[in-house]
Amino acid sequence: MARYVAIIEDSDPDAVSLWFPDLPGCISGGDDVDEARENAPEALAFYAQELSADGRELPPPRTLDELKADPDVADDLRNHTIALIEWPPLDAPE
């Protein structure tokens, strides 16, 4: 089971967004942090489905240390909340 690092941005008082540094364009959202996290596996599923349709697979997730060393992501990791999103989800059918 993989765990993707997600960055949670909650600066908008009306919505929370969540995105994955390892999966460009894969985003989730919700009215609050909990809802954005709950929606994240569905966003991953749609993203994986799109990649699969193109004959590709999800890339392996980088570790938090690897992401911290990436200058394109390091500031976001320092300035926002992070979450680990499991893939596939624990409740996914086998």
pLDDT in tens, 13-30: 889 999 999 999 999 999
Contact (Cβ atoms closer than 8 angstroms) between residue 47 and residue 26: yes
Q: Which of 65, 80, 87 is nearest to 8 (CA)?
A: 80
Contact (Cβ atoms closer than 8 angstroms) between residue 39 and residue 58: no
- Domain boundary assignment for the chain: 2-87
The structure's pTM equals 0.88
Report the SS3 class of residue 7.
Answer: strand
- From the options 1.10.150.20, 3.30.565.10, 2.60.40.10, 3.30.160.250, give the CATH code of 2-87: 3.30.160.250
Report the C-alpha gap between 74 and 26 in whole angstroms: 18
pLDDT in tens, 44-78: 999 999 999 999 999 999 999 999 999 999 999 99
Q: What is the DSSP code (8-state) at residue 62?
A: P
